[in-house]
Structure 1
């Protein structure tokens, strides 16, 4: 069943720990994963584009994009229910910021990828531990308080930063090239899906593992499309690649905003037993 409620019919503004009727994130459908991979691709190519063209340097671009992300997250937190446009704009921006955080550590501060990967993995584990201890759930079917939403977005940021560092580390160590790297990460995601559907791997952990792996998958696709043919890419450039993927994202978000096919059914959410 699809619910057509608007913000005016949603639950009133709530405090940090009070439950809202509506979930603040989309249902995990095929649309979710398509847009997520597209956003990670844009995160890679847009970060490269801004760093090349903006003239602000890596640090300046990082500050600018972080400020834009903060503005969009304020809008996201002020909504009373899931809004596709605001939510996916936040994901796209957090993808860029997560990439820039990793790049700053590697390029500006000389932090080895092994170190940054470990640090981001530990930070993400701490977020999950505190989130679960406080809320007793990590499920995105229950992102229905400000507290849970805060943990959710913090976890998303660290998944992007971790995925960037881990993806760069694998690419450098194995020297597979963009296309084979993308295939490797796609196979890893497929293995997670098999482990979940065939072997009973916990749904929540399956989701978050796949969520992390989509970051290096998208980055590899973006690099393959945008980088020069001499470097193993197709040579489309960061401008064309970013524009193409942004147009596809926009089209899908407009479609989902109109159809609300990715809105979580509150009645079905109430029956969700996964934590």
Structure 2
């Protein structure tokens, strides 16, 4: 590593392990969100408020952290997914706007966030986010994408009358197409990342419903609590593995971030370290 100042990474590398944990986290978000709103009887509005409050506490801790901590990072992702489920359900059902309208509202919100992110001069390459502004925009986009994913999954399975399992097969095929595009085309990797990031949420929503819903509705009838317990166990195993791997192979730091438009130094989101000449 050349001499100079660097910033400790706050976000993980985008690998197969990242996507495996992301899918588990978003699937857990679907079942856990339904558990709060339906099983505990809190309703979508109260659940959304409660889960957003918990998310804000967790994301504040994440933003103040000095470097990447897998357990903290994925806790925030799960909370965005759980809150996203209740936000989507509130818009679609409690407010009676419908699944298509809900998806349109949330999709527009996500597009606005991404445009603001791009115009801010921050990198959209998640692996290389090294500024506080960039990380705040990242988490804002995650909340919108996870809420949008719930609406999209519900619309495919219910609004279009596809059913849970056909919707899951369709979304799995879409993810395989994106995987092929990543390896065999020259499509921008950042564009593919955000499309995949959005699609994993409806995929997780549909799979979560398959695990929790009754057999009459095409599910396995595990219930929200049972499905959530299984997903939490799997998530703990994978996050534990990532924590151990990160301890053994620390993530390499990033150069001090510069604004893409002005070239001016930006406020870093992690600890600064200085590499001196050997």
Please give the per-residue CA displacement for 1:74-133, whole angstroms capped at 9, x wherever unaligned.
Answer: 110110111101100000010011111110011111112222211211211111111111
The answer on 1:145 being equivalent to 2:131 is yes
The answer on 1:266 being equivalent to 2:224 is no
Q: Look up the match of 1:80.
A: 66
Cα distance, 1:64–1:35 mapped onto 2, change above 3 Å = same
CA distance in structure 2 between the partners assigned to 1:233 and 1:123 by the alignment: 31
Q: Look up the match of 1:155.
A: 141
Q: Look up the match of 2:100.
A: 114
In the TM superposition, 1:80-229 aligns within 5 A as 80-229=66-215
Q: Look up the match of 1:231.
A: 217
Please give the per-residue CA displacement for 1:132-153, whole angstroms capped at 9, x wherever unaligned.
Answer: 1112421012211110000000
Displacement after TM superposition at 1:196 (Å): 2.4
Number of positions where the alignment pairs a residue of Structure 1 with one of Structure 2: 253
Q: Are the aligned partners of 2:92 and 2:101 in contact in 1 as well (CA < 8 Å)?
A: no
The answer on 1:42 being equivalent to 2:28 is yes
CA distance in structure 1 between the partners assigned to 2:203 and 2:250 by the alignment: 26
Q: What SS class does the counterpart of residue 7 from structure 2 fall into?
A: coil
Q: Look up the match of 1:30.
A: 16
Unpaired runs of 5+ in structure 1?
Answer: 2-18, 271-275
Q: Are the aligned partners of 1:51 and 1:61 in contact in 2 as well (CA < 8 Å)?
A: yes
Q: Are the aligned partners of 1:45 and 1:238 in contact in 2 as well (CA < 8 Å)?
A: yes
Cα distance, 1:262–1:63 mapped onto 2, change above 3 Å = farther
Q: TM-score, normalized by length of structure 2?
A: 0.85
CA distance in structure 1 between the partners assigned to 2:184 and 2:149 by the alignment: 25
Displacement after TM superposition at 1:231 (Å): 1.3
Q: What SS class does the counterpart of residue 221 from structure 2 fall into?
A: coil
CA distance in structure 2 between the partners assigned to 1:263 and 1:158 by the alignment: 30
Structure that is richer in helix per residue: 1
Cα distance, 1:113–1:210 mapped onto 2, change above 3 Å = same
Q: TM-score, normalized by length of structure 1?
A: 0.86
Displacement after TM superposition at 1:176 (Å): 2.2
Displacement after TM superposition at 1:236 (Å): 1.2
CA distance in structure 2 between the partners assigned to 1:87 and 1:47 by the alignment: 19
Unpaired runs of 5+ in structure 2?
Answer: 258-278
Q: Are the aligned partners of 1:24 and 1:80 in contact in 2 as well (CA < 8 Å)?
A: yes
Displacement after TM superposition at 1:35 (Å): 0.8
CA distance in structure 1 between the partners assigned to 2:12 and 2:185 by the alignment: 26
